[in-house]
Copies of this chain bind each other. A is one copy, B any other.
Amino acid sequence: MPEAHWYIKNCRLFERLSSEQILRLERCSRMRTFPKHSSVYLPTDPADGALLLTQGRVKLSHLTEEGKEAILAYIEPGELFGELALIGDSTREETAETVLPSTIIFIPADELERLMTQSADLALGVSKLFGLRRRRIERRLKSLLFRSNRHRLVHLLLELTEQYGKNSPEGILIGIRLSHQDLANIIGSTRETVTMLLGTLQSEGLLRISRQCIVIRNPQKLSEEIHTPFHLPQPTEAHSELPRPRAAQALSLKPE
């Protein structure tokens, strides 16, 4: 499978490896495609490796006993996930399922660890990856403790704007479609509350909802609400079809 080779080589994390190291990595990796809405792994599955998403979208979540789904993250092409297997976890602690048809490369943990001891560059890269994700989740924690649902939702919308924002005539369009239920599952609220809050925000002129897409009309004012300055994230043009292979970019290790 020459494709696996291509994807591995073009992932930032691995670019400093020698070609024989990549070859070896490729040989013990397994590439697999999944239809949409299928399970990649479940809690209690053995955590024996990390996964590299090359196409599609994966949702990481956790089901509570009462049947509520806490969404931990969405994974985009080029991103690594399930990488906590590296620290010696024996089993997964969350559910990973595809949202779109996806292709995924599985990388055994022991092999990756072996490579990390060989390549300090790789190990440094993984450190930074972990660090970035930890910072993200710590910010999220802060936005949840003591905060009203409105605050949480606004915070989430701004995060989505930074990650998926595209310029459009009347503001920044969020380039990922999430149902109100999904949004609620990210901030730990309910569908009805999210519907209502979005309605309120719309009536306040802060955003507009059209054809299942959210357009942030006033990012500045929205971010004032949560007292964090908003950095315009070089948004790409809406409707400009992004080139498929974003693999190299998505794992960028620069400090955002």
Contact = CB atoms under 8 A, between A and B. Distances in A.
Interface string A106-126: 000000010011111101101
24 contacts: A64-B146, A70-B141, A70-B145, A72-B141, A83-B131, A84-B134, A86-B127, A87-B128, A87-B255, A88-B254, A89-B255, A90-B255, A93-B139, A94-B138, A116-B120, A120-B123, A123-B124, A126-B127, A130-B130, A130-B134, A137-B138, A141-B144, A144-B144, A144-B145
A32 interface: no
A140 interface: yes
Contacts of A93: 135, 138-139
A180 to B, nearest CB: 16
Contact of A70 (B127, B132, B142): B142
Interface string A57-71: 000001011101010
A137 B134 contact: yes
Contacts of A90: 255
A138 B82 CA distance: 13
A113 B64 CA distance: 40
Contacts of A187: 145
A24 interface: no
Interface string A25-63: 000000000000000000000000000000000000010
A211 interface: no
A113 B125 CA distance: 11
A221 interface: no
Given A66-B146, A146-B66, A146-B70, A132 B255 contact: no
A131 B132 CA distance: 11
A84 B136 CA distance: 11
Given A93-B138, A131-B130, A117 B116 contact: no
A70 B126 CA distance: 28
Contacts of A255: 87-90
